Structure 1
Amino acid sequence: MSLEHLDVGVDSPMFMIRKLRFVTSNVGKLAEAQDFLLPAGLTVEGVSRDIILQVVEPQSPSLKTISSSKLEQVLSLFDDDGVPTFVEDAGLFIEAWGGFPGPFSSFAHSTLGCSGLISLMRGLSDRRAHFKAVIAMHLDGQTHHFEGRIDGSIAQSIDGDEGFGFDPIFIPEGESSTFARLGDSYKRRHSHRTRALENLLRLLVQDE
């Protein structure tokens, strides 16, 4: 799926919103959102580190619960200036481990890293996994959720140096290389985050 399927572009009159606010400490996530939405005439701004440090991530097995809680906290820190504001939570779900690390992927990456996860999976034949992202956005006084998912598998070894997180060990379905080897341009067309952003954009188009 691409923006062409949504029939929007920089000259499109289909919606009046021209700016969104993405609250994230991950510069890679912010860049992905900016690159995807810019062709639709939407700019995406980040927020100061001071704001980000005030948001406490809840411990929950649900990405939707986490994103909703983070958004609620964020909204309490801003005066309502009419700019649609969104947060996102994502995770790597490994089938053989019942979906772990899932919502705890950031912690797993900071403690195990890609090499540690590969080591723990040594000998496992079932290497199926998927990335999932859930966006929570405040628009016109309501909270909307958008999901995106990409299926794939865990590589036998680390491969590639682009992207971030577990990109060097995740092979998208239908490919033979990892996200990190396929490169940022591939990921920004096909990732779980892109698919969630596509759903977000559909809502903005429908609202007009």
Structure 2
Amino acid sequence: MKIYFATGNINKVKEAKIILGDEFEVEQIKIEYPEIQGSLEEVAEFGARYVYEKLKKPVIVEDSGFFVKALKGFPGTYSKFVYETIGNKGILKLLEDVDDREAYFKSVIGYCDEFGVKLFIGKVDGKVSIEERGTEGFGYDPIFIPKGYNKTFAELGVEEKSKISHRKKAFEKFKEFLKFKKS
């Protein structure tokens, strides 16, 4: 079964392919869609519906956010913009002298076909490191340490991260849905 993944981020596609395995073919398509302001769920639902209307083929979009407790959930739904403007160094600067470094990643996959949109949500808890560590991964991976680990996502690498990430959890739910749909 072929799934079209509307994203410009090849790293997300690589992660999806690892998680979904050989059972499902994932093809990246680069279709721009308006990213509305709202919750991750609202963004994923709107994006999936918008792209489906253009393609008329089953499609997924994925929106994720990085939420830091001491910053009242910031950057949250603005994660991409914040990363592109102040980056990891900016987040670390905001957390200087802050003891509570609790944070989480949340991923929402929006899937749309002729029957409408379904959402699949994954979350991974952890904390923000004191400094950037690791060279693999992307975005906030060098500053996020998942709960139960001493290494950042960037130190764990894509293979290991793909076993425990927020995206993994969302894609596992999506995979179960697809298996049920096929039967």
Q: Which TM-score band (shorter chain)?
A: over 0.9
**RMSD over aligned Cα, in angstroms?**
1.1
What is the match of residue 67 of structure 1? 44
Structure label with greater radius of gyration: 1
Residue 69 of structure 1 and its aligned partner are, at CA, apart by 1.3
1:76 is matched with which residue: 49, 53, 56?
53
- With the length of structure 1 as denominator, give the TM-score of the two structures: 0.84
Specify the code of the residue in structure 2 equivalent to 1:45. E
2: distance between equivalents of 1:104 and 1:196? 20
1:154 is matched with which residue: 128, 145, 149?
128
Runs of 4+ in 1 over 3 A off after TM superposition: none
What is the match of residue 95 of structure 1? 69
The 3-state SS of whatever aligns with 2:54 is coil
Residue 150 of structure 1 and its aligned partner are, at CA, apart by 0.4
The answer to whether structure 1 residue 37 and structure 2 residue 20 are counterparts is: yes
Residue 72 of structure 1 and its aligned partner are, at CA, apart by 2.1
2:36 is matched with which residue: 42, 46, 58?
58
Aligned residues: 182
1:204 is matched with which residue: 167, 175, 178?
178
Structure 1 unmatched runs, 5+: 1-17
1: distance between equivalents of 2:5 and 2:147? 28
The 3-state SS of whatever aligns with 1:76 is helix
The 3-state SS of whatever aligns with 1:171 is strand
2: distance between equivalents of 1:125 and 1:182? 24
The answer to whether structure 1 residue 22 and structure 2 residue 15 are counterparts is: no
Specify the code of the residue in structure 2 equivalent to 1:46. Q
Specify the code of the residue in structure 2 equivalent to 1:33. A
Structure 2 unmatched runs, 5+: none
Q: How does 1:104-119 map to 2 (within 5 A)?
A: 104-119=78-93
What is the match of residue 99 of structure 2? 125
The percent identity for this pair of structures is 37
Quick check: 2:40–2:108 contact (8 Å CA) kept in 1? yes
- With the length of structure 2 as denominator, give the TM-score of the two structures: 0.95
Per-residue CA deviations over 1:39-84 (Å, capped at 9, x if unaligned) read 3x11100113xx22xx111112x10001111112212212x2xx42
The 3-state SS of whatever aligns with 2:145 is strand
